[in-house]
Chains A and B, each alone.
Chain A
C-alpha cells in the first residue's frame, strides 16, 4: 500500500489551499504606506547613442515625484555577473559594465533609459511619455555569426569585439577528438538551432523598495527565486549596502523557470529610489515589458559531429556552439553554455573523446540566461538529435544504437569532467518501451495512415547534472559564489517545528515535501512541521532554488540540522529516562530505551528543552534549534528515457502529439504526486519549445514576437496525456536522502523526442528530411517536407 505520510507519500500540496483560493500573497499584493510608483522609459531601438534626455515637461506633470536618468546612477555599481569563464587561451571572458539606467548608450530594445516616480502608476506613465529622448540610432547586431565578423558594430565600444569568450572543453582533448573524427568509419554531422525562449512565468516581475531612514535599513520585496543571492549581488556590488542593513523578501512567487534567479536593474532601482526619496517605490512589470526585460533562454546555434566505428560504437563527439549572451551578461549567463552544457555532452553514452567549443556572443538583444534546464536541454537536444540522424544514416534502430552505447558501470568518469555516481539507462529504456507500448507502434501507425496521417515515433535519453553544486568544483569553474545551502530546524516547546530553509518555493511544493522529510525522521505528523522561506531576515542563509537543487542540497542541509536536533533530543531523553544516550531510540515520535519498556514522547523532550527544570544544564544548553550548511560532494545525475508519437497532416504540416511517455530515474522520491506534477510541467515547457515557442528578432533588433499574439505559449489542448514513471530509481550515493532532483527533467528530455518523432513521421511519408529547427510550426514542417 502506498504510504499516507512521510517520505514516499503523495501528501496533498498544502500551499495550494492559498494558491487556489486567491489568498496567496505575491509581491504585487504588497502596498506600503506612502508608496510611489515607477514607470521606466525604455529604448525602442536596439542600438543607439543617447544625445539628450529632456525631462523638463515631464517634471512638471501632475503627481511626478522625481525623474531619474543614467546621470543619477553614474556613481552606482554595475549589475554584476556571478560567473567568470576562462577561455581556451587562458584569458578571462570579456565582461562589460551593466548599468542600472543606460549610460550614454542603449543596447537592446527595452534597455531602461529613465525612470519616472510618481504618485500613481498612470501619472508615472503619463510623465514618461512626455520625456523626450534623442537617440542616434546605430546599426544593430542580432545574428551571432554576423556579430563576430570583422567590422561588425560593437555592442560595447570598450570591449575588443562582440566575443565574450571562446571556450574549449576539454581543450587538451581537442587533438585526439579531431584525429578520431578523421579516422572514423562514419561521421554524422548536424547543424541546428536551439530556439530562443521567453520564460513567461504567470506572475510578471515586481519589485518594491522600502527604506527606513530611522535605522538606515532597506527592504526589497521582489519576485525572486533566491532572496539571499539578490541581497549579496545588489548589496555588495551595486548599491553598497551591508547585509545587516538590507533585507530581501520574496513572498509567494508565481513561477520562475530560471528567469527570476537573476538580479535585475529594476530591483536595484526601487531600492535606490526609495532611499533617495525616503518613501516606498513600487514597480510592476507589464507583460509587454516582461518580453523585453526578463532574461530570455536558450538561443544556441550548434554544429555537432558524432563519430562511430564500424560496429556503431560512438568514438568521438565534437561540437561548435554560438551562444547568445544578449546585450549584457545576466547573473549566470556565462555558465549556461559552458559548465551546464559542455559537462553534459557525454549524455548517457560511453563516448571516450569529446570536445566542446562555445563562442559566447554579445548582440543587441535582451540578455539570455538560465531557463528551466539551462544548458542541459541544449546539450541533450543536439546529442539526441545527432544520434537519431546517425541511426537513420546507418539504417539501424535508434533505440538499439543508444542501448549499445549506454554507460553501464558506475561511478563513471566522463571525458567532460564530471563523474556520474549512479544510473541504470537500460532499465529506464526498458521501462519506457513498456509504458509507451512500443510494440504496438506499427499498429498505431497503420491506424494513422488509414486516416491520411503520417505517424512518427521519437525516442531519446537524457542525463542532467542537478543538485547544483559542489562549491569547490564550481569555484574552479568560475563561479563567484558557493553553491551550498542552509537550513535551521527550530523545535518549539510543544514539539512543533519550523524549518527555515534557504531554498525558495515558487511552484515546487517545498511547503509540503520538506515537512514530509522531517515528519519521517522524527515520526511526528507532517502538520506539526512548517517551513519558512523567502526572507533574508528569517532564514540563516541560502542560495535559492534552481538547477533542481532544493531537496538535494537544501533538503540535505535540513536533514543534517534535523540530525543535530535529534542527537541533542536523545541526550535530553536519556536524562529524562535515566538511561545511557547510546541506548535511546527514536521511533514514531517516541524515545525509548533499547530493551526496556521505558519511553517518553517527543513533546516531553521538547518541553524539557524549553522548561529545563529537570535537565542536564551542566552538559547541554536549553532550547532545541540547530542550523546546518550543506555543500554537496558532487552533482546529482537524474536520467531517463522519453518517447513521443506524433501525427503529421501531410496537407498542412500540422503536427499533433498523440502519445508521450517519460521514464525517469530521480533516485528516491519524497512525494510522487509532486514529482509527477514537476515532470508534467517540464514536458509542457519542452513541448512548448519544440512545437510553439520562439522569440524572434528582425535584423534591426526589434522583437517580433513581443506579445502573446505572436509568441505561442503551450495551452492545455496542445498537450497530450502524459504517461510518466519514476520507478527505476538508483538513489544518489552522496546525499543523505538519496534524491536527485526532478524540476528540469521534463524540459530537458522532451524536445528531442518531439523532433525525432516528426522526422520519423515525415520519413514514413516518404519525405527524408534530415532536420527541422524548432519550433515545429505547421509552416516550418510544411516547408521542410516540400523543400
Chain B
C-alpha cells in the first residue's frame, strides 16, 4: 500500500465534503478497494470511510419497496432482507462470511464488477440508485465494465428495490473466485418480467430482452426454450468461453423461472 489518510465522517454531507479533496476516495467495506490498495493498483491520498454514517445503514420496507442503505453489509441484507427473499438469498451467497460482514451494497454497485451479483438484482428489479445528489434508474446507472453513472465523489446513500411478485437469482460460480461465471436474476412485476445477466458480457450487466418478452407473455421455463442467447460480446476467459456463457444464460434463466413457480 501507499500511504494515505483516513477520515470517518458521521454524516453524508461531511463525507461529500471530504470527498471533494483531490484524489480522495470513498471506502465502503473495503472488500474490493483494500486488495486493490495492497497490490498498489490505486493510490488515493485519502480514504473517506462511510462506515460511520448511520443513516446509510439498514434495511426497511416502504410500501412495495425495499430500501437498503448504501452502507448496508451483505450480511445484513441476507438476514434482514426477508421482504425480498431472492435479494436476501443473493446477498447470502456473496463471498464468505468475512466478505459479507464487511462488503456493502453501495460498494458493490459503485464498483460494478462485471461478475458481481448485486448489479443483476438492481437491473432486474428496476431499482433506483439513490445518491447524495439524485436518483438514478438502474437502466441508466450501469454503463459498462466498472463504469457507472456516478460522478466523482458521488455517494450511493441507498438503493430502492420495488418488491416483485416473484423473483429468483441463479448464480453459476466461477470455480476459483466464486463470483458469478454467469448469474441470471429474473424478476416478475405487475408490468412484466425483467431478466438481468451478470458475469457474461464484456460490457457488464445487461438485460436479456428476448427472454423478457417471452416470459412476460408466458412466465414458465418452456417460454425460453425456443430462444438462444447470443454469444456476441460475451466474455471468453480461462473459466468459460462466450459460447458456454451464452448457453448458461439460457439454462440459468429457465432455472430461475422454475424456481419462481
Contact = CB atoms under 8 A, between A and B. Distances in A.
A704 interface: yes
B66 to A, nearest CB: 29
Contact of B177 (A122, A694, A710): A710
Interface stretch (A3-11, A76-84, A775-783): A775-783
A708 interface: yes
A288 B175 contact: no
Contacts of B175: 691-692, 712, 775, 777-778
29 contacts: A122-B1, A129-B40, A652-B248, A652-B251, A654-B172, A692-B175, A694-B238, A696-B238, A704-B238, A705-B238, A708-B176, A708-B177, A709-B177, A710-B176, A710-B177, A710-B237, A710-B238, A710-B239, A712-B176, A713-B176, A777-B175, A777-B239, A778-B172, A778-B175, A779-B239, A779-B240, A779-B244, A782-B244, A783-B244
B239 A652 contact: no
B241 interface: yes
Nearest to A707: B176
Given A709-B177, A710-B176, A777-B175, 17 more contacts: A288-B39, A652-B248, A652-B251, A696-B238, A704-B238, A708-B176, A709-B176, A711-B176, A712-B176, A775-B175, A777-B239, A778-B175, A778-B181, A778-B240, A779-B240, A782-B247, A783-B244
Interface string B206-250: 000000000000000000000000000000011111001001100
Interface in B26-43: 39-40
A710 B179 CA distance: 11
Nearest to A708: B176
B186 to A, nearest CB: 16
A477 B176 CA distance: 40
Contacts of B239: 710, 777, 779
A122 B37 CA distance: 13
Contacts of A711: 176
Contacts of B240: 778-779
Contacts, number: 44
Nearest to A711: B176
B20 to A, nearest CB: 28
Contacts of A651: 251
Interface in B167-189: 172, 175-177, 181
B101 to A, nearest CB: 18
A246 to B, nearest CB: 35
Contacts of B172: 652, 654, 778
Interface string A757-787: 0000000000000000001011100110000
Interface centre among A654, A691, A696, A778 (most CB of B within 10 A): A778
Contacts of A122: 1
Interface in A657-705: 691-692, 694, 696, 704-705
Nearest to B38: A286
Contacts of B247: 782
A704 B176 CA distance: 12
A380 to B, nearest CB: 24
A712 B238 CA distance: 11
Contacts of B251: 651-652
Interface centre among A122, A652, A692, A696 (most CB of B within 10 A): A652
A713 B177 CA distance: 10
Interface of A: 122, 125, 129, 288, 651-652, 654, 691-692, 694, 696, 704-705, 708-713, 775, 777-779, 782-783
A70 B238 CA distance: 35
Tell me if A's interface is mostly helix, strand, loop or mixed.
loop
Interface centre among B175, B237, B239, B244 (most CB of A within 10 A): B175
B32 to A, nearest CB: 12
Contacts of A694: 238
Contacts of B248: 652
Nearest to A783: B244
- For the complex of A and B, the 6 pairs showing the least CB-CB separation, nearest first, are A712-B176, A712-B175, A779-B240, A709-B177, A651-B251, A710-B176
Given A288-B39, A779-B239, A705 B176 contact: yes
Contacts of A288: 39
Nearest to A696: B238
A651 B177 CA distance: 22
A437 B101 CA distance: 43
Nearest to B179: A709
Contacts of B241: 779
A692 B175 CA distance: 7
Interface centre among A288, A709, A710, A779 (most CB of B within 10 A): A779
Nearest to A129: B40
Nearest to B251: A651
Nearest to A691: B175
A188 to B, nearest CB: 30
Contacts of A705: 176, 238
Contacts of B177: 708-710
A297 to B, nearest CB: 18
A705 B177 CA distance: 11
A711 B1 CA distance: 24
A691 B240 CA distance: 14
A374 to B, nearest CB: 24
B132 to A, nearest CB: 32
B1 to A, nearest CB: 7
Contacts of B40: 125, 129
Contacts of B39: 288
A710 B176 CA distance: 5
A118 to B, nearest CB: 15
A196 to B, nearest CB: 13
Interface string B176-204: 11000100000000000000000000000
Contacts of A775: 175
Interface centre among B176, B240, B248 (most CB of A within 10 A): B176
Contacts of A691: 175
Contacts of A704: 238
A688 to B, nearest CB: 10
Contacts of A125: 40
Interface centre among A654, A692, A777 (most CB of B within 10 A): A777
A278 B181 CA distance: 52
Nearest to A654: B172
A749 B241 CA distance: 31
A341 to B, nearest CB: 27
Nearest to B3: A122
Contacts of A779: 239-241, 244
A435 B39 CA distance: 48
A708 B241 CA distance: 19
A290 to B, nearest CB: 14
Nearest to A705: B238
A692 B1 CA distance: 31
A195 to B, nearest CB: 12
A133 to B, nearest CB: 17
Nearest to B175: A712
A122 B177 CA distance: 28
B179 to A, nearest CB: 8
A779 B239 CA distance: 7
A712 to B, nearest CB: 4
Nearest to B243: A783
Interface centre among B40, B239, B241 (most CB of A within 10 A): B239
A692 B177 CA distance: 11
Contacts of B181: 778
Nearest to A782: B244
A709 B95 CA distance: 12
Contacts of A709: 176-177
Nearest to A652: B251
A710 B1 CA distance: 22
A654 B177 CA distance: 16
Contacts of A712: 175-176
B59 to A, nearest CB: 28
A454 to B, nearest CB: 15
Nearest to A651: B251
Contacts of A777: 175, 239
A778 B247 CA distance: 12
A713 B240 CA distance: 17
